[in-house]
Chains A and B, each alone.
Chain A
């Protein structure tokens, strides 16, 4: 594929087949935000540090600023727009972030939720330490992480059908 020649890509995003024309250098996050107009995936640092652009690709949490759109051709992607329950109600994680005040400005939240969703699929009952390590690629500059950890614990409890008990501070 030549430098500026656009190529046709198709992928599945939030359950729907999507397509678009991209240059080789188009980053996945730009494709998601600009071509697909799904602006819930945020661009933070652009240097693979902050995790605001995290999406789920074929069962992996990936920083979508560090992958070319052309590399995602044929993959299945979930963004924050695709995490709510089918009936439109909040997912366990979304509810957890709301109930536990897991956000203040909200900029990191889409990346946090996508990462936490994959973490809970791999490890449905994580310890607090595992949660903190699990979200170590996502930076929040408001909450001090305390309430984000609680939000993920809340969601884990809800998914596992047990009562959420906040740890004493």
Chain B
């Protein structure tokens, strides 16, 4: 399978990339790791006239601590997240989630920025970014802006990115000390997108849930924050009744597609189970 013809551009700065994208217009696409875009191009489901390869822009790489936030360059690969001591220490849920994405080869190329910016409901990082309260830095010809991950996703493959804008960095507040976390992903095989997945970050105080955020992957056309489900466990000891109540509240907002991963009823059912498992495992980790 051979992609359709395109012109290749490799800018060295964000300013040049933005300029190229705004000049070339709709038929230009930014190229990050390429592990979603290239297969689509080979299937001719994507036929961009221009690719703007972001690999030549050194400033888009790297992981740094900035006060109580971790700032990650958009072109940082999943492999680099897995190798990072800062991530292991400050955001171990990112490590856990990155390990569940695709396979080793794909993780050497696949980037965090591509994962969150593509708008694919099957991608794992977006729901995690909602759960962690992350924000994205977008750069366009009119300048830069920051947007909360919770405001970014508008529909399947539809995001708040304006034409000519690129996502350059992800800024993630470090969870409170002692917070528990878990990402539970049900998939048919290694490399598959989630049949259903849930992210949980919570804190416990005196055996009761003191704060909680729950995110859902591939259970709607966008990633979801399960706010009511999180409220349902507040102040509880995560007994059976509380877990079931949270699962029911989460299932109530799910509207997955029926596909090869199963019918809607099944995916919602296992989505509830992922929520319960993630809550239980996160609580066990909380100090």
Contact = CB atoms under 8 A, between A and B. Distances in A.
Contact of A25 (B3, B53, B191): B3
Contacts of B1: 46-47
A24 B109 CA distance: 18
Contacts of B106: 48, 63, 66, 137
A2 B51 CA distance: 11
A60 B39 CA distance: 20
Contacts of B260: none
Nearest to A61: B105
A30 B1 CA distance: 10
Contacts of B179: none
B103 A67 contact: no
B5 A60 contact: no
Contact of B39 (A2, A7, A47, A71): A47
A51 B34 contact: no
A66 B38 contact: yes
B7 A49 contact: no
Nearest to B2: A25
A61 B104 contact: yes
A137 B102 contact: yes
A66 B6 contact: no
Contacts of B105: 51, 54, 61-63, 115, 137
Contacts of B103: 51, 136-137
B4 interface: yes
A61 B5 CA distance: 26
A123 B49 CA distance: 42
Nearest to A70: B8
A23 B152 CA distance: 35
* Interface size of A as a range: 20 to 34
A27 interface: yes
B8 A68 contact: yes
A24 B39 contact: no
A134 interface: yes
Contacts of A49: 191
A67 B8 CA distance: 13
B42 A46 contact: yes
B9 interface: yes
Contact of B108 (A2, A3, A7, A62): A62
A115 to B, nearest CB: 7
Contacts of B190: 136-137
B56 to A, nearest CB: 10
B185 interface: no
A25 B4 contact: yes
Instruction: Point out which of B35, B51, B105, B191 has the most chain A C-beta atoms below 10 A from its C-beta.
Output: B105
A79 to B, nearest CB: 14
A165 interface: no
B55 interface: yes
A1 interface: yes
Interface of A: 1-4, 7, 23-25, 27, 30, 46-49, 51, 54, 60-63, 66-68, 70-71, 115, 119, 133-137
15 contacts: A1-B7, A2-B7, A3-B49, A7-B8, A24-B51, A48-B39, A63-B106, A66-B109, A67-B34, A70-B8, A71-B55, A119-B104, A136-B104, A137-B102, A137-B106
- 9 interchain residue pairs of minimum CB distance: A137-B103, A24-B8, A60-B108, A3-B5, A136-B190, A137-B105, A46-B1, A1-B8, A25-B3
Interface of B: 1-9, 34-35, 38-39, 41-43, 49, 51, 53, 55, 79, 102-106, 108-109, 190-191
Given A25-B6, A66-B34, A70-B8, 20 more contacts: A1-B8, A2-B7, A3-B5, A24-B7, A46-B1, A47-B42, A47-B43, A48-B38, A60-B79, A61-B105, A66-B39, A66-B109, A71-B55, A119-B104, A133-B104, A136-B103, A136-B191, A137-B102, A137-B103, A137-B105
